[in-house]
């Protein structure tokens, strides 16, 4: 008898593996009936990962998006699943236990059936509580093995990890081959090893970029895998997933029972995806993300990160080339920077203990590598800037690292007086829901149906506040407008091309951000010609400069108290943050003194060497 293999469309991941954003809720609701009409999906990934933050970033309520997006699939009898980062919930940093527990209650009420939980360090202590939270909420708990390729990540390592999760009550196992670098034969051995422990449903997730995943899909299916994650054109292959049509044809030829595809509906969905890309989503998708690249095998960076990486690379490259321009040095190309980054990832990764390269630790390793590359290109040494969240990973506060730290990292930690942690990671993050309840009451904000707005605020405080104030939508629309104009001007003759540049200038000791325009530019389109009243400096002192480009924040969560003008600070105190590449980089006082000026508003974009504060 033919063994059945079912398909899951990873619609959310398709978009975020290609670029930065996902469709708006009106677009999601528009495409859902056509996906259902395709008739070949047992499951659809509807939310999770960066989905909620992305909604907030473009000024949309993610709770409404999840409810409306999951509804048609439920009515059609198709299961919905989402990604959960265990200790980190839906964000890049750890989450209190009470917020994690509410997370499951809210998502089940909104219509999500399955939670795919993973720990970026493969520390089962971070995953096991989520099994209980899922069951209490009435959800299926699917626990993930984050696949990577290193001396410590063996077949035995993964089979043993699955055994611990099954014994803790996991309903299903996901083989999360997030970078697509799992070797096919080894993956087959992992699946067969798990099936010998218990005949539990197994779902395989992989990315196409390095070129292994079609062979891997065949191997895991022959070993007993039950569900395969697939993508579809025009967002398959490259940094995305194997295409449904190819996977179906391959498995059918191999003798598996697979569902038929309504090709008329497939073309309808394909057309809608292109329509959404033409609307605004394509502005954030690098054409290079369509390419498969065996160079990805060595750094092992996940496909889900490559979309945003290529978008961020433009900013990193601009920063490096600004430095080179001031010194009349040859400019670097994006390809040159990418190769340097890949090489540096290969250098950094083993030295920070071989964390599986999956969110958020893939970003941490990539960010460390990028900061090192930028520092070395500017004549500085490695390891100059390590964000606090990255230190938490290094010190064990986020879980146990699979490998050993290099002596240079241990020495740096000891030199800076940092303490290593051996306990349960969750103990570092006490409950916070009551604090957020109080804050919402003070702000007169509704906690929402099933406490979903309370959950959103507690999970993503900075983004939620920007959403509520309207700033997120304003910034998003401005960025879309800017990108459309840049795209329209990309092929304009050089002599008629309009260009603008944001600079920081000093007038009698006071910093001002100004926009300089070249050519015929409508003055009404210029921003940043003078600082807003709230950002006007009120005193003198030494400048605190931004070490990188990003967004300025006085605090990174509600547990911190923002610094104020007139407040005394000591050398080494954290005084603000610059959020870049999904990481909050702490800016510390370089000397004792008093803050006399805060020169930018929270949430504002800043460039490298912009004046953030003044201290006297």
| Model confidence at 332: pLDDT above 50 | yes
* Chain centre to alpha carbon of residue 561: 26
Q: Which position has the token pair 């410590």? A: 152
Cβ neighbours of residue 423 closer than 8 Å, sequence gap 6 or more: none
Task: Identify the band that residue 491 occupies on the pLDDT scale cut at 50, 70 and 90.
Answer: low
Q: Which residues pair with 241 in a beta bridge?
A: 236
Q: Are 152 and 179 in contact (CB under 8 A)?
A: no
Q: Which position has the token pair 């920081």? A: 504
- Coil/strand/helix, residue 557: coil
> pLDDT by residue (tens digit) across 360-412?
888 888 889 888 998 888 888 899 888 888 999 999 999 999 999 999 999 99
| Model confidence at 425: pLDDT above 80 | yes
Task: Identify the band that residue 498 occupies on the pLDDT scale cut at 50, 70 and 90.
Answer: very low
> pLDDT by residue (tens digit) across 68-89?
999 999 999 999 999 999 999 9
Average pLDDT rounded to a whole number, residues 489-507: 54
Average pLDDT rounded to a whole number, residues 114-129: 96
Characterize the bridge pairing of strands 574-580 and 550-553: antiparallel
Two structure tokens written together for 463: 């983004």
Confidence (pLDDT) at 1: 52
Confidence (pLDDT) at 291: 76
DSSP string spanning 462-525?
Answer: HHHHHHHHTHHHHHHHHHHHHHHHHHHHTTS-TTT--EEEEEEEEETTEEEEEEEEESS--GGG
Average pLDDT rounded to a whole number, residues 206-229: 96
Q: Which position has the token pair 């190819």? A: 246
> pLDDT by residue (tens digit) across 541-577?
889 988 888 889 998 876 688 999 999 999 888 999 9
| Model confidence at 152: pLDDT above 80 | yes
Confidence (pLDDT) at 529: 36
Q: Which position has the token pair 């057309």? A: 271
Confidence (pLDDT) at 199: 96
Average pLDDT of the chain is: 87
* Contacts for 281-287: CB closer than 8 Å, 24+ residues apart: 281/15, 281/19, 281/21, 281/22, 281/23, 282/19, 283/480, 283/483, 283/484, 283/487, 284/19, 284/20, 284/21, 284/311, 284/483, 285/18, 285/19, 286/19, 286/310, 286/311
Q: Are 355 and 397 in contact (CB under 8 A)?
A: no
Two structure tokens written together for 102: 């509410």
Task: Identify the band that residue 354 occupies on the pLDDT scale cut at 50, 70 and 90.
Answer: very high
Question: What is d(CA 570, CA 572) in angstroms, rounded to the nearest whole number?
Answer: 6
Cβ neighbours of residue 442 closer than 8 Å, sequence gap 6 or more: none
Confidence (pLDDT) at 31: 97
Question: What is d(CA 605, CA 482) in angstroms, rounded to the nearest whole number?
Answer: 14
> pLDDT by residue (tens digit) across 15-61?
988 888 899 999 999 999 999 999 999 999 999 877 888 888 888 99
CA nearest neighbour of 105 among 439, 443, 454: 454
Helix 334-351 to helix 361-377 angle (10° resolution) is 120
Percent of the chain exceeding pLDDT 90 equals: 61
Two structure tokens written together for 596: 């006399």
Confidence (pLDDT) at 292: 72
| Model confidence at 266: pLDDT above 70 | yes
H/E element holding 29?
helix 25-37
| Model confidence at 244: pLDDT above 90 | yes
> pLDDT by residue (tens digit) across 506-551?
554 444 445 555 444 444 444 433 344 344 445 678 899 888 888 8
**Most confident segment among 222-236, 348-362, 579-593:** 222-236
Q: Are 171 and 165 in contact (CB under 8 A)?
A: no
> pLDDT by residue (tens digit) across 436-486?
999 999 999 999 999 999 999 999 998 899 999 998 899 889 989 998 988
| Model confidence at 133: pLDDT above 50 | yes
CA atoms within 13 A on the CB side of 259: 19
Question: What is d(CA 378, CA 326) in angstroms, rounded to the nearest whole number?
Answer: 11
> pLDDT by residue (tens digit) across 280-312?
999 888 887 777 777 777 777 666 566 556 666
Sign of the torsion angle spanned by Cα atoms 409, 415, 421, 426: negative
Total residues belonging to the chain: 616
Which of 539 and 122 is assigned the larger pLDDT?
Answer: 122
* Chain centre to alpha carbon of residue 575: 25
Question: What is d(CA 546, CA 548) in angstroms, rounded to the nearest whole number?
Answer: 5
Question: What is d(CA 458, CA 472) in angstroms, rounded to the nearest whole number?
Answer: 17
Confidence (pLDDT) at 103: 96
- Where do the domains of the chain lie, and which CATH numbers do they carry? 298-428 (no CATH), 492-615 (2.40.50.100)
CA nearest neighbour of 409 among 456, 343, 364, 458: 364
Average pLDDT rounded to a whole number, residues 81-108: 94
Confidence (pLDDT) at 227: 98
């Amino acid at each position: 008898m033919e063994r059945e293999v079912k398909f899951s469309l990873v619609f959310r991941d398709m978009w975020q593996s290609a670029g930065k954003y996902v469709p708006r809720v009106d677009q999601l609701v528009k495409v859902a009936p056509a996906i259902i009409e395709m008739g070949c999906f047992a499951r659809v990934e509807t939310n999770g990962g960066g989905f909620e933050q992305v909604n907030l970033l473009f000024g949309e309520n993610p709770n409404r998006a999840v409810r409306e997006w999951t509804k048609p699939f439920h009515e059609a009898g198709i299961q919905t699943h989402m990604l959960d980062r265990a200790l980190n919930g839906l964000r890049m940093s750890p989450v209190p236990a009470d917020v994690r527990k509410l997370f499951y209650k809210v998502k089940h009420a909104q219509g999500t059936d399955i939670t795919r939980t993973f720990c970026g360090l493969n520390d089962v202590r971070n995953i096991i509580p989520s099994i209980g939270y899922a069951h209490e909420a009435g959800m299926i708990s699917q626990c993930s093995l984050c696949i990577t390729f290193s001396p410590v990540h063996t077949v035995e390592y993964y089979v043993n990890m699955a055994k611990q999760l099954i014994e803790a009550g996991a309903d299903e196992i996901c083989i999360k081959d997030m970078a697509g670098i799992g070797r096919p034969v080894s993956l087959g051995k992992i699946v067969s090893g798990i099936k010998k422990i218990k005949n539990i449903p197994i779902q395989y997730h992989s990315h196409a970029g390095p070129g292994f995943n079609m062979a891997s899909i065949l191997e895991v299916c022959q070993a007993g895998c039950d569900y395969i994650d697939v993508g579809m054109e025009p967002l398959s292959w490259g940094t995305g997933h194997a295409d449904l049509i190819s996977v179906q044809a391959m498995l059918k030829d191999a003798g598996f029972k697979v569902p038929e595809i309504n090709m008329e509906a497939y073309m309808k969905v394909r057309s809608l995806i292109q329509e959404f890309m033409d609307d605004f989503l394509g502005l954030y998708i690098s054409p290079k993300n369509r390419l498969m690249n065996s160079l990805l095998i060595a750094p092992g960076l996940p496909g889900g990160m490559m979309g945003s990486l290529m978008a961020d690379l433009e900013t990193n490259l601009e920063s490096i080339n600004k430095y080179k321009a001031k010194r009349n040095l040859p400019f670097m190309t994006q390809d040159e920077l990418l190769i340097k980054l890949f090489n540096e990832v290969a250098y950094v990764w083993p030295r920070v203990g071989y964390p599986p390269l999956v969110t958020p630790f893939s970003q941490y390793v990539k960010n460390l590598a990028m900061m090192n590359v930028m520092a070395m290109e500017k004549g500085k040494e490695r390891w100059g800037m390590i964000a606090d969240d990255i230190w938490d990973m290094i010190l064990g506060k986020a879980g146990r690292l699979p490998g050993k730290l290099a002596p240079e990292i241990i020495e740096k930690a000891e030199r800076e007086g940092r303490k290593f942690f051996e306990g349960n990671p969750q103990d570092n993050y006490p409950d916070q829901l009551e604090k957020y309840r109080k804050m919402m009451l003070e702000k007169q904000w509704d906690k929402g149906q099933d406490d979903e707005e309370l959950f959103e605020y507690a999970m993503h405080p900075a983004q939620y506040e920007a959403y509520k104030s309207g700033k997120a939508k304003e910034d998003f629309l401005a960025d879309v407008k800017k990108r459309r104009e840049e795209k329209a001007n990309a092929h304009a003759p050089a002599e008629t091309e309009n260009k603008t540049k944001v600079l920081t200038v000093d007038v009698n000791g006071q910093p001002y951000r100004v926009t300089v325009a070249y050519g015929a530019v409508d003055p009404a389109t210029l921003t940043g010609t003078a600082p807003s009243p709230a950002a006007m400096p009120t005193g003198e002192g030494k400048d605190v400069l931004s070490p990188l480009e990003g967004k300025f924040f006085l605090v990174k969560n509600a547990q911190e108290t923002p610094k104020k003008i007139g407040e005394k600070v000591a050398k080494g105190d954290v005084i603000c943050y610059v959020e870049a590449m999904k990481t909050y980089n702490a800016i510390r006082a370089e000397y004792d003194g008093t803050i006399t000026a805060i020169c930018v508003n929270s949430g504002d974009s800043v460039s490298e060497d912009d004046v953030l504060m003044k201290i006297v």
